[in-house]
Amino acid sequence: SDNKIALIPGGPHPYFAPWEQAGKDAAKDFGIAAVDFKVPAEWKLNLQTELVESLVTQGYTAFGIFPGDAVGINQTVEELTANNIPAAALAGCAQDPTKMSFCLGTDVFNSAYLGTQALIKAMGGKGKIVHLAGLLVDPNTKLRMDAVEKAVKETNGAVTIVQHITDTDAQEAADQKINALLGAQKDEIDGMVSTAYIPSVVAAKSLRNLGDKRIKLVGIDDDQIVLDGIKDGFVAGTMAQNPYGQGYVGAYVLDLIASGTCTVKADAPWIKTPQTEHFIDSGTLLISNDNVGTYKDDLKKITGEIQSTFKDKYLTCK
Amino acid sequence: MTLAVSSDSRARPSWLAEQSNLIGLAAIIVLFWVLFTSLAPGFVSSFNLFALSRSLAVDVVIGFSTMVVLATGGMNLAIGSIGVCAVMASGYMMQTLGLPIPVAMALALLLGAFLGWLNGFVIVRSGVNSFIITLASASLFLGAMLILSKAQTFNALPPEIAAFGRMRWKFISPLLFIALGLGAALVVLFRFTALGREILAAGANARAAELSGVPVGRAIIIAHTLSGALAASAGLMLVIRLGAAMPSIGQDWLLPSFLAPVLGGTLLAGGYVSVVGTILGAFLVTTIRSGLLVMQVGNFWLQLFLGLILLAAVMLDRYRGIYAERRSLGRKDAGRRASGKSA
Amino acid sequence: MRLTIEGIGKDFPGVTALDEVSFEILPGETHALMGENGAGKSTLIKIITGLYRPDRGRLLVDGKPVDFTSPRDAIAAGISAVHQERNLIPRFTVGENIMIERPPTRNGVIDFERVHAEARKFLDMIDPSIDTRTEVRHLSVAQMQIVEIAKALSLEAQVLLLDEPTASITGHEAEALFAVVRRLRAEGKAIVFVSHKLEEVMAISDRVTVLRDGRVAAAGEPIASMNRGKIVSAMIGREERVAEMGARDVDRSKVVMEAKDVTTSFGHRGVSFRLHKGEILGLYGLVGAGRTELARALIGDGKVVSGELRLNGQPVTIPDVPTAIRRHRLGYISEDRKAEGLILAHPIRSNVAITVWRRIASALGLITRSNERRLVHPLVEKLEVKTPSIEQAVGKLSGGNQQKVSIAKWLAAGVEILIIDEPTVGIDIKTKTAIHELIGEITREGLSVLLISSDMPEMITLADRILVMRDFTLAGTIENSHRYEPMSREIMGFIHAGEETSPVAAGAARA
Amino acid sequence: MSTMTRNTTFGQRFLANEWSALAIAIAIGLVTLAVLSPAFLTEFNLYVMLRSFCVVLIVAFAQMLTLAVGQMNLSVGALGGLVAIAVGGMMEKWGFPVPVAILCGLAIGAAGGLINGLLTVRTGINGFIITLATASAFTGINLGITESIPFYNLPASFVAFGTERFYALPYLLLPPVLIAIALAFFLARTVPGRQLLAVGGNPQAAELSGIPRDRVIVMAHTLSGLLAGAAAILAVAQLGSAQPTIGADWLLMSFAAPIIGGAALTGGHISVAATALAVVLIVIIQNGMVLAKVDPYWVQFLLGALILAAVGLNRLRAVRAGGA
Ligand SMILES: Nc1ncnc2c1ncn2[C@@H]1O[C@H](COP(=O)(O)OP(=O)(O)OP(=O)(O)O)[C@@H](O)[C@H]1O
Ligand SMILES: Nc1ncnc2c1ncn2[C@@H]1O[C@H](COP(=O)(O)OP(=O)(O)OP(=O)(O)O)[C@@H](O)[C@H]1O
Ligand SMILES: [Mg+2]
Ligand SMILES: [Mg+2]
């Protein structure tokens, strides 16, 4: 097709690095004119929307967007669809009501929930935990906090949550806060669940520095430091997401929709999340010592599955 | 030469000379428009112009918010926090309380003005630098907002809001007219009212102003109140633009809020503001940013080019200013100057 | 070292400050540089010290052309200066300010013991009472001026340029300065001396150069060949006019301001006086006697702690300056016009109109520039402010013209009582006369003036009665007889009650 | 003034110090936290606090030097980020030995500062705008090089320096302490140091006194850049990886600490000791909030309230000292 598709993260962040390759692969595999990875200069919503707007003027015909803000992006998406340009939320969802065609990504609530459950299991079903979270003003943070609390509540008091520490997604703030936490309470707490990229990395590193294998940590994403922590026993596990798959499948589907060959099915087996009613799980899996060598293959397998069944499950095509 | 009535109008710097800085800035903007238009035709597409006018509108008002406080020689680091407080308040009033839009917006503006007044009051009463007070109050206001709202977004606002945000007048967002209207009001304030003059006098030399009977404390408080109201306006414009009231609004206002007025010639030290300059300053930055995006300058390198072009623009303006000054001097007795130089 | 000024010219936007100025400064002489406000004296000094580049002409040192690109160059060439503007670092100590150009170091580290010792040496030449370890910002205006002089002396330069060094110091310190000047001259140094005080000039200089409107009106005339009249007519281009106050019979039936046993937050004790309608009440005293602070307390920029202040018979408490001006029509012209009197970056128009903005505003609260101009223009004309336009920034005016603007402001304000603090510091003879006449005129029109001045002749010319202040109390009141000798003796008697006659009295008596 | 210092009590002399209110606030904070939480005074927590003190302090000094001459450096963070990834890149990609990489990093920092200074002085444009523009340029280079992906594989010895400690004292504390002492000495006792303050205190006067004003301003910017570079290198050691986001949130803190420490934005007045104490106070507040398990929604609010309280205390001190 002659579609030009842009994949746009919220800002510069290592998580999205695989999107570049995913886009290229998708363009080659599905014969799309272009699938370009375009990064806003800074992690700011207005820069993201300005980028989207300028790409429209450059003739891009479909957008895969990680919303810089789950609510704030909607107005822009609305304008896109008004111009017959489809957009899909990738990696993270936009908050309903939204004109995003669908959301292919990590269910932040579910991921945090599963991560906490994994942590509870690693702690032997009881103890005290701390939740490390990202920007407090990000609507997703609230969802993650709720998810952690839900998982904790299900233990009927065997596990208690000591505190949520937020605004840890800048390196230095994370280092300062997490170390302060360990300094104050390392003997009291039994586990930490991190629902943001940077605190996961920093917590993994801090536990290694401390030489502490008693405190269990379940993080998110597969940063090298976290994976090393898993191999060496400082980290119990991490919730892998599937950035490559999101970019690859996202581009594939957007191409179909933008070409007009397919439309999104209303009664497809969508997952309903607190954020959106049109959610597709891009694959969340727990990386632990057992699968740390092989999880990539697992993710690839998932990606292949989603891609091959997508048309039938979620789209109506001519 | 002793002043004589007849010589006054002649010797008074002409309107053109007085505005030469603004004209220079405008010329540079035109230069960039020509450049971007010829290099990237998409730049003047109606979609891009609309988008540009809309982000310009908000940047201009944010710039005004800082400008009015710079006039007093102070700073307001809390504009983002005041903005978000107004945003969340308006969201709460419209979505939860179901108040009519104009009422909610007016009350939100009042809240912004009140928070600004609070800043000004504490600054004047304590005698502590506005930088510190507003640094602390930025945290306080944002914190209070988080405590009250639990960082919940209001995204079920009346649909008219979002519709207004999408509205176009030809290819320009009506938001821009609001911003320009505020600008016009500020021009009147600083040029034609005692209050505006007093604010400037207080900023230029507080001691002299005080001894000349200017109620300096009051001038500072009013400037901060105004700054708060403008910050709230910028916040509400974003609500209209985004169709939702979110707690993350305002977090990245600080630098652009300074950039526009300072580029436009407003003095950081106080005592001089340029409303038109602030608009042009914001316009220059928006133009460059949008132009680079449309020209598809490499993703990650965009910031570099933005910085370099900004540098080039301010230097161009600077040398144009020096050149203009030389010319106006040289005209007087260029012959003698030349002979003087060779001596 | 011989300094030749050859055809120097300098333009500022709208003004030619200097044009074809040529004369010579010789070693071993004191060369007076005279001229009205705005004649270009300070501009010339700034050119000689490398702060400005001349647009035309050149400077020669011992016959060789020099081109100073910065004050550093001039200092290196052996030229130092006391500029008209204050040039001290407020947060540095007196000692460090004096030694700032070449602080003594040991192994690259500043040796503060020696800094203070050296500074002491130069300060002692003028005023031993100033502590070199005090930060400059705590000093009074006069003390800062003395530090400036010591700082210029510390460079031990071949050419010393003094731009109105005596404008804000008393006769006592001025005498000490002249002694130093005489000694330096004896050592073969050249001294250039700018002053508006003719008596001083006549007393210490060897030759005099007069500038008028940026051109030389008299070049290096030996002082012996000049007299007061000649110098003045060279300066103003016509005969001197002496302030003629005329017969002043003040009606003392109406008291507009009365202080009864006032104690202030600054430490004044038992201050009692009455100011009558249309009267000029002088307040004389030495530097630091507390006159300025009394004025501050009266206008609400300090507090009256006890006692009573009555205006037009009504007891009042004045919480702040705006109230003093608006409600009580009481204004104050500061002695420090740059820091407190004027907004240097703003045009003359705003500076004059500032007190009346609210009054001239239309019903809608709007003021227009033409409204302001209509108010400001006649005043600026009346005071003969030398400026290309009333849109000129006040900071670009010469010192004298700045003072005229700050007087114009209060005339515009239409106050009933005006406290004027050192009205003619740094103001030329012609303007001074004009200002004196002006003060006389406004009091005839019903304004009452409390006049603070350290200039005894001025006091005796203007005041109807003179209060003498010593150490924050009033030492006495004198009815003005307009006879200089007995008056000054009586005033000094109050100041030095119980002390031996000091050189200050002698100096003042001589003048 | 002179009479005041002569016959006064120790208490009055203490209050006359600009940093005394900060010292009192810190003492109050320490006691409160020690009482509130037994963990506060443990060796490890002290170590944690001292460690988070290091980078912030140098960043504050970097800004303090430009404030000293009445300028601002909005590019501290951007330059820091650039140096951080440069050092990381040199160690990981090019395998430079640690000392060489550090020296190169410092040189880049100083060069960035030099560019800021030269541009400011040569063009006569407000340093605020210049550094705002160069900040964008520095960040652009940073992102362009890294595409926002950090350098992870740093030499073990370097990373160890960022984490090892002697009882409660982190090794990381050494450079900031040395820098603080050197700066205090530089500003108080050396000719260039005094010239820097003189230019800030009254640029016109300094120039008339023969001080090369432009050169001094360039020097201030260069030193500022050098310190930003030093802070970045410490941050890399502390974090154990060269993150492109290092420095992203330095700006506000860099101003807050010197100004809470009494620096004048107009220049000429700064205090090394008070700036350091302001950083200590901020670190204690932040540490205390984690320690006291403050509800996340209250963190911001309390931060503002506590800063305001500290400022109020200082105001009270000034009034008292003035009255004494
Ligand atoms: N920086 C400047 N910009 C514009 N005009 C200036 C500047 N400096 C001086 N002038 C003008 O140049 C002329 C000469 O001023 P200058 O200060 O040399 O006078 P002066 O003889 O020292 O007067 P005074 O006795 O009042 O000090 C004045 O008309 C003044 O307004
Ligand atoms: N020798 C001195 N040592 C220390 N402080 C002094 C000295 N002389 C004056 N001061 C202070 O400087 C200030 C000057 O006082 P003030 O200005 O009221 O005096 P004045 O009578 O108006 O003198 P003038 O205006 O002529 O300087 C006062 O605060 C005084 O305490
Ligand atoms: Mg002069
Ligand atoms: Mg006085």
Is C484 a residue whose pLDDT tops 80? no
Is C506 a residue whose pLDDT tops 60? no
| CB contacts, 8 Å: B243 with chain A | 74-75, 78
Shortest CA gap D86–chain C (Å): 34
D182, D58 in Cβ contact below 8 A? no
**Using a 6 Å cutoff on CB, does residue C15 contact ligand 1?**
yes
Q: How much is the pLDDT for B327?
A: 59
Q: Is residue C438 part of a domain?
A: no
Which atom, in ligand 1's list, is nearest to the CA of C35? 21
Distance in angstroms between the alpha carbons of the first and the last residue of chain A? 15
Q: Is residue D295 part of a domain?
A: yes
Q: How much is the pLDDT for C392?
A: 87
Residue ranges, chain B, pLDDT below 50: 1-13, 330-343
pLDDT, greater one: D66 or D251: D66
**Residue where a domain stops, chosen among C236, C252, C273:** C236
**Using a 6 Å cutoff on CB, does residue C37 contact ligand 1?**
yes
Instruction: Report residue C457 as tokens.
Output: 């002749």
Dist. CA C123–CA C125, nearest whole Å? 5
Q: Does A135 touch chain D (CB under 8 A)?
A: no
Q: Is residue D50 part of a domain?
A: yes
- What confidence tier does A92 reach under pLDDT thresholds 50, 70, 90? confident
Ligand nearest to the backbone CA of C398: 1
Q: The complex's ipTM? A: 0.84
Per residue in A249-263, pLDDT (tens digit) is 999 999 999 988 888
Q: How much is the pLDDT for D4?
A: 41
Residue in B53, B82, B84 with CA at minimum distance from that of residue B178: B53
Q: Is residue C159 part of a domain?
A: yes
Which chain A residues in 248-277 lie under 8 Å from chain B, judged by CB atoms?
Answer: none
Q: Is residue C149 part of a domain?
A: yes
Q: Is residue D185 part of a domain?
A: yes
Which atom, in ligand 2's list, is nearest to the CA of C170? 26
Q: Does A167 touch chain D (CB under 8 A)?
A: yes
Q: Which chains touch C (3 or more CB pairs under 8 A)?
A: B, D
Dist. CA B95–CA D88, nearest whole Å? 49
Dist. CA C32–CA C218, nearest whole Å? 11
Contact D149 A17 (CB under 8 A): yes
Q: Is residue D25 part of a domain?
A: no
Compute and round to an integer the Cα radius of gyration of chain B. 22
Q: How much is the pLDDT for D198?
A: 93
C86-95, C232-241, D304-313, range with greatest mean pLDDT: C86-95
- Mean pLDDT for C210-235 is 86
Contact B147 D298 (CB under 8 A): yes
Q: Does C413 touch chain B (CB under 8 A)?
A: yes
Dist. CA A161–CA A144, nearest whole Å? 13
- What confidence tier does D279 reach under pLDDT thresholds 50, 70, 90? very high
Kindly report which listed range (B78-87, C41-50, C184-193, C389-398) carries the lowest average pLDDT score: C389-398
Same domain, C322 and C272: yes
Q: How much is the pLDDT for D76?
A: 95
A5 SS3 class: strand
Beta strands (DSSP E) in chain B are: none
Which atom, in ligand 1's list, is nearest to the CA of C46? 18
Same domain, C248 and C374: no
Q: Is residue D252 part of a domain?
A: yes
**B54: nearest CA in chain A?**
A50
Pick among D41, D52, D294 to test the A interface (most A CBs inside 10 A): D52
- What confidence tier does D267 reach under pLDDT thresholds 50, 70, 90? confident
Q: Is residue D167 part of a domain?
A: yes
Per residue in A258-282, pLDDT (tens digit) is 988 888 888 888 888 888 888 888 8
Kindly report which listed range (A130-139, A260-269, B177-186, C498-507) carries the lowest average pLDDT score: C498-507
Mutational test site, ligand 1, from C212, C391, C398, C435, max ligand atoms within 8 Å of CB: C398
Which amino acid type is present at position A124? Answer: G
Backbone φ and ψ for C126, nearest 5 degrees, come out as -110, -55
Residues with CB under 6 A from ligand 2: C 129, 140-142, 285, 287-293, 335, 454
Distance C145 CA to ligand 3 centre (A): 15
Q: In C419-496, where does DSSP find H-type helix?
A: 429-444, 456-462, 484-495
Q: Does D190 touch chain B (CB under 8 A)?
A: no
Shortest CA gap D227–chain C (Å): 22
Chain mean pLDDT for chain A? 89
Q: Does D290 touch chain A (CB under 8 A)?
A: yes
Distances (CA, A) of D171 to D48, D50, D159, D279: 12, 10, 11, 18
CATH code at D114? 1.10.3470
Q: Which chains touch A (3 or more CB pairs under 8 A)?
A: B, D
Same domain, C137 and C68: yes
Say what percent of chain D tops pLDDT 70. 95
Q: Is residue C208 part of a domain?
A: yes
Is C242 a residue whose pLDDT tops 60? no
Which chain C residues in 105-134 lie under 8 Å from chain D, judged by CB atoms?
Answer: 105, 108-110, 112, 131, 133-134
**Residue where a domain stops, chosen among C236, C252, C280:** C236
Q: How much is the pLDDT for D109?
A: 97
Q: Does B124 touch chain C (CB under 8 A)?
A: no
Chain mean pLDDT for chain D? 87
Q: Is residue C100 part of a domain?
A: yes
Q: In chain A, where does DSSP find H-type helix?
A: 17-30, 45-57, 74-82, 108-122, 139-153, 171-185, 197-210, 224-232, 243-258, 295-314
Is A151 a residue whose pLDDT tops 90? yes
Q: Is residue C440 part of a domain?
A: no
B134, B121 in Cβ contact below 8 A? no
Region class of C62: left (phi > 0), else alpha (psi between -120 and 50), else beta = left
Q: Is residue C278 part of a domain?
A: yes
Distance in angstroms between the alpha carbons of the first and the last residue of chain B? 28
Distance C166 CA to ligand 3 centre (A): 13
Distance in angstroms between the alpha carbons of the first and the last residue of chain D? 11
Residue in A56, A192, A205, A48 with CA at minimum distance from that of residue A132: A192
Which domain range does residue C377 map to?
Answer: 342-414
Dist. CA C464–CA C439, nearest whole Å? 12
Q: How much is the pLDDT for D6?
A: 46
Based on the structure, what is the number of domains in chain D?
1
Query: Looking at the domain that runs over B12-332, which CATH code has it been given?
Result: 1.10.3470.10
Distances (CA, A) of D166 to D174, D287, D318: 11, 21, 38
**Using a 6 Å cutoff on CB, does residue C49 contact ligand 1?**
no
Is A89 a residue whose pLDDT tops 90? yes
| CB contacts, 8 Å: D125 with chain B | 314-315, 318
Helices (H) and strands (E) in chain B, counts: 15, 0
Per residue in C360-378, pLDDT (tens digit) is 877 777 888 888 888 888 8
Distance C201 CA to ligand 4 centre (A): 24
Q: How much is the pLDDT for C502?
A: 41
Same domain, C424 and C476: yes
Mutational test site, ligand 1, from C396, C401, C428, C432, max ligand atoms within 8 Å of CB: C396
Alpha carbon nearest to ligand 1 atom 3, residue: C396
Which chain B residues in 192-251 lie under 8 Å from chain C, judged by CB atoms?
Answer: 192-195, 197-198, 200-201, 204-205, 207-215
Shortest CA gap D56–chain C (Å): 27
Dist. CA D57–CA B103, nearest whole Å? 47
In this prediction the pTM is 0.86
- Mean pLDDT for A174-181 is 89
Contact A176 D148 (CB under 8 A): no
Q: How much is the pLDDT for D126?
A: 82
**B326: nearest CA in chain C?**
C13
Based on the structure, what is the number of domains in chain C?
3
Which domain range does residue D290 map to?
Answer: 38-323
The number of C-alpha atoms within 13 Å of C156 and in the hemisphere containing its C-beta is 7
Q: Where are the domains of chain B?
A: 12-332
Kindly report which listed range (B270-279, B307-316, D73-82, D152-161) carries the lowest average pLDDT score: B307-316
Q: How much is the pLDDT for C241?
A: 57
Q: Is residue C481 part of a domain?
A: yes
Contact C92 D197 (CB under 8 A): yes
Q: Does B19 touch chain C (CB under 8 A)?
A: no
Which residues have CB under 8 Å from B218's CB, separation 6+?
A: none
Q: How much is the pLDDT for B324?
A: 64
Instruction: Report residue D169 as tokens.
Output: 């004292």
C81 SS3 class: strand
B28 SS3 class: helix
DSSP output for C355-411: GGHHHH--TTSB--HHHHHHHHHHHHHHTT---S-TTSBGGGS-HHHHHHHHHHHHH
Same domain, C232 and C222: yes
Backbone φ and ψ for C324, nearest 5 degrees, come out as -55, -45
Q: Do chains D and B touch (3 or more CB pairs under 8 A)?
A: yes
| CB contacts, 8 Å: B126 with chain D | 311-312, 315
Pick among B147, B297, B299 to test the D interface (most D CBs inside 10 A): B147
Same domain, C14 and C87: yes
CATH code at C115? 3.40.50.300
Q: How much is the pLDDT for A281?
A: 87
**Using a 6 Å cutoff on CB, does residue C396 contact ligand 1?**
yes
Dist. CA B287–CA D319, nearest whole Å? 49
